[in-house]
Amino acid sequence: MTAVDRVEVRDFLEANHIQGATAMSEAFGLRDGGELVAVMCMKWRTKTEVELVRFATSVIVRGGHSRLLKHAVAAMQPQRVVTFADHAVSDGGLYEQCGFIKDGELRPDYTYYFRGERVHKFLFRLKRFRNDPNLLWDESWTEQQAAAENKIPRILGLRKDPLRTRHSRVGLGPPERGHSVFQAVG
């Protein structure tokens, strides 16, 4: 377990997470020989609930997710942790292995098709069009208009197939005497 500053976390997520960096309350990391190899970011949603907003690795880190989650829960002491699995990259099995339960399905979302591959919509926010000299941009355009003008097709998810599921762990809070904070739910 290691301390990580926000600049290092941002750079790591930009290089190793499909959605890049995000707003967070706390970040936790694992290092191997001084090199940052895994990052987990948490964000307070309410006074008692945090969202696991990012987990990324630069190499295979056996047990990295569970170790970082255990440390984050101990440090932050939420009563509940929620997170989301995007079915384009995960079925949520990792969360279930760590004691989360699937408790919701979200409507299908969209992605973009860029340079021969499907990419997350967060890679083409308005600021990307505004700041990238290789892309066309007009202040009056919406994200969808900017993508269309740049010939970046938008791919919609199928209505019959939820592309994201919500997972949660509850009953965490400060541990009772003799009990572990990290007991799995269910």
Query: How confident is the model over 90-128, as pLDDT tens digits?
Result: 888 888 888 899 888 877 678 888 988 888 788 888 999
**What is the overall mean pLDDT for the chain?**
84
The reported pLDDT for the residue numbered 4 is 86
pLDDT value at residue 177: 33
For 149, the token pair is 């003008």
For residues 156-160, give the mean pLDDT: 59
Residue 39: what pLDDT? 97
pLDDT at 75: 93
- Round to whole Å and give the CA distance between 160 and 54: 27
pLDDT at 105: 80
Q: Is the pLDDT of residue 130 over 60?
A: yes
What is the pLDDT, as a whole number, of residue 117? 82
Give the side-chain half-sphere CA count within 13 A for 115. 4
Is residue 27 within 8 A of residue 11, CB to CB? The reply is no
- Which phi and psi angles does 11 have, rounded to 5°? -65, -40
- Domain locations in the chain as residue ranges: 6-106+163-172, 110-156
Residue in 36, 44, 52, 43 with CA at minimum distance from that of residue 2:
36
Q: Find the mean pLDDT for residues 160-184.
A: 53
State the architecture of 6-106+163-172 in CATH terms.
Answer: 3-Layer(aba) Sandwich (3.40)
pLDDT tens per residue across span 35-92:
999 999 999 999 999 999 999 999 999 999 999 999 999 999 999 999 988 777 788 8
Query: In 19-138, which ranges are continuous DSSP H helix?
Result: 64-76, 93-97, 126-131
Cα separation of 22 and 19, whole Å? 8
